[in-house]
Amino acid sequence: MPHQSVFKDESKLDINYVPARLPHREKEYHLMRGFFDSLLKFPERMSQRVIITGDVGTGKTALSRHFGAELVTEGNKRGLKFRYIHVNCREYRGSLFLILQRAVLVFRPNFPKRGYSAEELLDTLMQCLDEENAYVILALDEFDSLVEREGSEAIYKLTRLQETRQDKPQRLSLICILRDLSLLQRLDSSARSTLQRNVVSLDKYGQDQLVDILNDRVAMAFEASAVPEDSVSFIAELAASESGNARFAIELLWRAGKYADSEATRLVLPECIRLAFSSIFPTVKKSELASLGFHEALFLLGAARVFKECENAYGSLPEVERAYAVACEEYGEKPCSHTQVWKYAQLLSALGFLKTEVATVSTRGRTTRVSLPSISAEELERELISSLKRNR
């Protein structure tokens, strides 16, 4: 009988999927609406230029696409012909010619791809809009690529377009998406002044915010109960350590689901997440394992075995200490004291093999919580056994 996948709809984890709701970006969405409100009221008299800036994985592209779709819907309800065109400038090599060609092809699919300059393509785009009485929001993703290649002249052409169209409707608005606002210092003051009036800055996501984002995707993409709450928290913790990158969190969730399917576990367990993480960032360095002292390696072996058998993302230091004692017996060694074991835990945490933190447990007070953040427990056990054999 074929194994049932943990996935319900894998496409909801695709990088290009834009959800109907963007958790923790409501404030920025309403700011965008405020900037573009005049466009809905007086489309012929007003155009808009907005910059969305923020680090990788802060939702810049998703916010722009989500907002663009909503604005088009709202415009259509009012009898206005709005179009949202999203262009990744890096994919088009930062070329204004190729970017404008892409925009023109939306309206004229058979338009010749040769024989025109960027200026002529811009004129053609405006002619198309005039003929169809349409308005375009052109989103320029990875805008820094256009700035780096073509500089102020290209930006000036886009932002000062209306000056060459006296007494004609304003039809082209811009959303410029980039990571670092300081890049605009490369532009001359005239080009820069046309852009920097309306800026939407996206902060990095915190761990709790990432949990909310992941829970939304889990509900859409996975079968009921396929992703335990503990696993969601674990992925959020790993993504928070990668600068709060929501894109990374969603990719990690998808990869972990793939490992769950390949192992036929029917649950996305922490070991699936560790396998997924190490497939993105290979972290087991044999030279670092070989440099560990014998008892440090035995302690780490105990930790690997705890997490190999455990369905939870976190364990306690006493659990790992007991597994360490079993490993010592297996190798004919006398376990070290609790104080020394605690030092091993701190060292291995500093090296990135383990993560330790003091947690409050309601019935027992405070305890040291341990996790294996980024390494497959099975892979780590295998490498440690090999290393211990060499070091005997």
| Structure-block tokens of residue 192 | 């820069």
Indicate whether 39 and 155 sit together in one domain: yes
| Cα torsion through 350, 355, 357, 361, rounded to 10 | -160
Angle of helix 270-280 relative to helix 246-263, nearest 10 degrees, comes to 120
Determine, yes or no, domain membership for 152.
yes
**In the predicted model, what is the mean pLDDT of residues 39-60?**
92
- 356: Cβ–Cβ under 8 A, 6 or more apart, which residues? 317, 345, 346, 349, 368, 369, 370
The C-alpha atoms of residue 158 and residue 187 are separated, in whole angstroms, by: 14
Indicate whether 180 and 109 sit together in one domain: yes
Res. 163 pLDDT band, cuts 50 70 90? confident
- The range of the structural domain enclosing residue 323 comes to 286-391
Task: Count other Cβ atoms within 10 Å, centred on residue 15.
Answer: 10
Determine, yes or no, domain membership for 5.
no
The C-alpha atoms of residue 352 and residue 349 are separated, in whole angstroms, by: 5
| Structure-block tokens of residue 159 | 């932002």
Instruction: Give the chain's radius of gyration (CA, Å).
Output: 27
Determine, yes or no, domain membership for 16.
no
The beta strand positions in the chain, using DSSP E, are: 49-54, 81-88, 134-141, 172-178, 199-202, 314-316, 355-361, 365-371
Determine, yes or no, domain membership for 9.
no
Predicted TM-score of the model (pTM): 0.83
**In the predicted model, what is the mean pLDDT of residues 6-28?**
95
Determine, yes or no, domain membership for 21.
no
Q: How many domains, in total, are found in the chain?
A: 3
The C-alpha atoms of residue 295 and residue 353 are separated, in whole angstroms, by: 15
**In the predicted model, what is the mean pLDDT of residues 20-45?**
94
Alpha helices in 222-315 (DSSP H): 229-241, 246-263, 270-280, 286-290, 294-309
Task: Find out whether 123 and 108 touch, Cβ atoms under 8 Å.
Answer: no
The C-alpha atoms of residue 325 and residue 336 are separated, in whole angstroms, by: 9
Indicate whether 198 and 211 sit together in one domain: no
Task: Find out whether 24 and 152 touch, Cβ atoms under 8 Å.
Answer: no
Res. 376 pLDDT band, cuts 50 70 90? confident
Indicate whether 196 and 210 sit together in one domain: no
Helices and strands counted in the chain (H then E): 15, 8
Domain boundary residue, one of 153, 186, 202: 202
Q: Does pLDDT of 81 surpass 90? A: yes
Indicate whether 197 and 210 sit together in one domain: no
Task: Count other Cβ atoms within 10 Å, centred on residue 32.
Answer: 23
CATH number reported for the structural domain that contains residue 131 in this entry: 3.40.50.300
**In the predicted model, what is the mean pLDDT of residues 117-126?**
93
Res. 2 pLDDT band, cuts 50 70 90? low
Indicate whether 196 and 219 sit together in one domain: no
Indicate whether 117 and 247 sit together in one domain: no
Domain boundary residue, one of 280, 315, 347: 280
Predicted pLDDT at 15: 87
The C-alpha atoms of residue 179 and residue 56 are separated, in whole angstroms, by: 7
Determine, yes or no, domain membership for 372.
yes
Indicate whether 182 and 69 sit together in one domain: yes
Indicate whether 189 and 292 sit together in one domain: no
- 151: Cβ–Cβ under 8 A, 6 or more apart, which residues? 186, 187
Determine, yes or no, domain membership for 17.
no
Determine, yes or no, domain membership for 63.
yes
Domain boundary residue, one of 280, 297, 331: 280
Indicate whether 172 and 40 sit together in one domain: yes
Q: Does pLDDT of 390 surpass 90? A: no
Indicate whether 80 and 184 sit together in one domain: yes
pLDDT digits (tens, 9 = 90+) for 319-364: 999 999 999 999 999 999 999 999 999 989 888 889 888 876 555 5
The C-alpha atoms of residue 77 and residue 196 are separated, in whole angstroms, by: 30
CATH number reported for the structural domain that contains residue 362 in this entry: 1.10.10.10
Indicate whether 193 and 315 sit together in one domain: no
Task: Find out whether 71 and 137 touch, Cβ atoms under 8 Å.
Answer: yes
Q: Does pLDDT of 74 surpass 90? A: yes
Q: Does pLDDT of 258 surpass 70? A: yes
CATH number reported for the structural domain that contains residue 276 in this entry: 1.10.8.60
Query: Average pLDDT of the chain?
Result: 91
The C-alpha atoms of residue 278 and residue 275 are separated, in whole angstroms, by: 5
Predicted pLDDT at 364: 56
| Cα torsion through 58, 62, 68, 69, rounded to 10 | -150
